[in-house]
Structure formats: C-alpha cells, structure tokens
Structure 1
Amino acid sequence: MTRSIRPDAVLVQAVIAGALSFAHLHDLAAAAGQTGWKAWAYPISVDLLLVAAWRRLRSDGPSRLAWCWFLIALVASLGANVATAGFLDLQHPPAWLRFGVAGWPALAFLGGTLLAHSPTATDRDPGTPVPAAPDPVPDIEPDSAPEPHAAPLAAAEDTPALPAADPEPAPQVPAALVAHARKVADDHQTRTGSRIDSDTLRARLGVPAPMADAIAAQLT
C-alpha cells in the first residue's frame, strides 16, 4: 500500500529559508577569508547552535543559558543575511567582520558544550520521594483487651503472707562480765558525775552493741 506524498507549505517555506540563510552565511565566511570547506562549515555551525538552543528551550523550559545561546546564534544568522544584502562591501570586508568570523568556531564550541552537558530540569529536581506506608496497627476488640489490674490483684491474692520475724533473743551475759562492767560504770560516774551510756560501755569493754545494751540494762 503506497502513501501519497502531500506537499506541506510550511515545510517548503522552511527549506527555502534555510537554504537562503545557509548561502548567506557561506558567502559571508568566504568574504572574510574562510575558503574551501571552512566556508561551508560556518553555516552548519550557526544553524546547529540555533537548533540546539531552541530544542533545549522546548524540552526543559525557559532558562538563561538556552536563551543566551539562542539569541547569539540568531544574531549571527540574521547578521549574515543583512550583511550580504549590500550593507557591507564584501570585496573589502572590515576588520571587525574578519575578527568575528575567525572567532566564531570557539564561541560555537563553547555554546554547544554548555547546552549538551549542563544539568537539565529533570536532573536538578529528581522529585519528592514517596514516604513509606506505616506498619498496620492490629485492631484490638474492647472485650478481649486485658484488664491492667487483674494480674497484679491475682498475684497478690495467691502470694502467701510471710510469717512475722521472731524478736532476736537477748545475749547471755556472764556474771563476771557484769561485775567488771559495774566497776567500770562506777569509775565512770565517779570521774564524770554521770551514768555511763551503752556506747561508752561498749567501747570500754570491747563487746558488741547488743551485749553492751544487755549489760547496761542489768546495771540499772
């Protein structure tokens, strides 16, 4: 099945305008001293930079970088079209024209490199990460929920009461020790005028505190 070729007026107009601009750029480069294949490379460089900047504007949106190089390529193309219309003497081109044509390759190379390797809007904004869903919380029915005080009460009921500790029996004091303690107490009362206490008696006799208390109780 063959497809019929239908001419597009817009496409035909674009081809004609591109060919005329290409020829004007070639003639200007040749007049500025660029001969041979170099004169043909100039219009390709200008048109490619113009297309690259316009594509960057269409794909990533307006940006200073893309607009800057788009205007530079547009001025270069438009200037060549105007210059070849008789405004300049191409038989004797001015020095500034030769300077501009000679410096264009470096300028076009810089613009193409920046447009190709500068980060795009997609690279700068990777997007907001989607937060992870929280873990599901199991539903607990009111009837099956444990009573907070049931276990402690049951444990308290099941725990048997501890028996009361028997009072510690008083230590047995020998009679000889009591007699010696009485002499120490009398000597202390003679010297100080007051009765001896348990701490002093314990220190003088060198006995434990419970035994000193038991001796003091017998001295009263």
Structure 2
Amino acid sequence: MMTPETSGDRRSRLSGALATGALILGVIVVAWWTIEILDSYVLGNRLQRNGIVPREREGFDGILWAPFLHSDFGHLISNTFPFLVLSGLIMIRGIRRWVYVTVIGLLGGGFLTWIFGGAGNHIGASGVVFAYFGALVGAVAFERRPAAIAPALVAMLLYATMLVGLVPQDRVSWEGHLAGFVCGIASSKLLAQRRTRPDPDRDVDIIFGGEQPWLE
C-alpha cells in the first residue's frame, strides 16, 4: 500500500530533481567548452574532422562525436543557450524523459543525417537541440494536456525562429536540424503511447500534480 506524499516530500523531490538536472546540464556544457578551447588553442581544430560525413564509413562514428564538436565559439554559443533552456523545459517533466529524448535525438538524428545529409562534415549540437524543440512541440499534439502545452508555449515564444533552420541553406546542416526535429517528434509520440498503458503504481508529477509519464 502506498502512503500519500506530503508537501515536504514533494519539495524534497523537486529540489533533488532540480539539482540533478542542473548538474547534468552543467557537466555537458563544461565538456563542450573544454573541448572547444582545447581544439581551438591546442589542437589546431583537428577534432572538427571527427563529425558526421554522410554515407562515408569513416564518418559514421561522427554520430557520437558531432554533438561535442563546434566550428568556433560563435557556433558553440548559439547552441549552448537553447540547449540549456529547452533541456530545462523537458526536464520539468522528468530527467529520464530528457535522457530518452536526448538518446533518440542524438542517435536517430545522427543516423538520418549520415544517410540523407549533404556532402561535407556535419558537426555541432544543433541536431540534438532541434530534437528537444520537436519533442516539446510534438507532446502538445500527442498528449494535449497542460503539462505538455505550457513548456511548448515557452519554447515557441523563445525559439520559434529556430524553424528557419529547417529550410535548406548553404553552409548550414539543415539536414541535421530536420533529422533531429523529426526524431524529437517521434520520441514524444513514443512517450505519449507508453503513458497510456495502465500502471497502478504510477507516481505523481512533481511539477504539475498530474500523472507522470512512464519514463519520468
């Protein structure tokens, strides 16, 4: 038999989740900046060669490395802030949900970029960032509940101009953006399907007070 959660327990869970989420995002951002500093000032930008090279065997492992590599500090800055904001909006509904979207966006988006991307070396975390954006927007369509709508509205208000990145343009990995966005929508669909399965032990959403999705 489960005992009701007190307000103190709820606050404790919330503070713990916020601290854990902040730590995860902080570690990732520090890693990005450390890699870029080393690559720019020590390695002569040699690490940039390890991105995704579509349909080339040597560029397949770039699926794993590309999100950690950036062309310059401007490129890195342009990914850092939306990464933090959109990640936070997803983490509001659970850290494991964020992990789920991240894995699908990184691996799925990277693979689609390798299959369909234009010739060249694709680097940067923007594919994963677009996966977060797609997951937030997709959750509205597939769940239609306040817990999904509120974060998506914030994302649209702040980053609606990101949609321009889905349009073909020179010297921009728009294929990677589109692949990440599609994978983000797919992840929200999978999450919505799983949350419809009956689970008598499902926990309480720490933010919105409703039922948590299965992965939160």
The TM tier, using the shorter chain, reads under 0.3
TM-score by length of 2: 0.25
Which of the pair has more CA radius of gyration? 1
Whose helix fraction is larger, Structure 1's or Structure 2's? 2
Higher relative contact order at CA 8 Å, sep ≥6: structure 1 or structure 2? 2
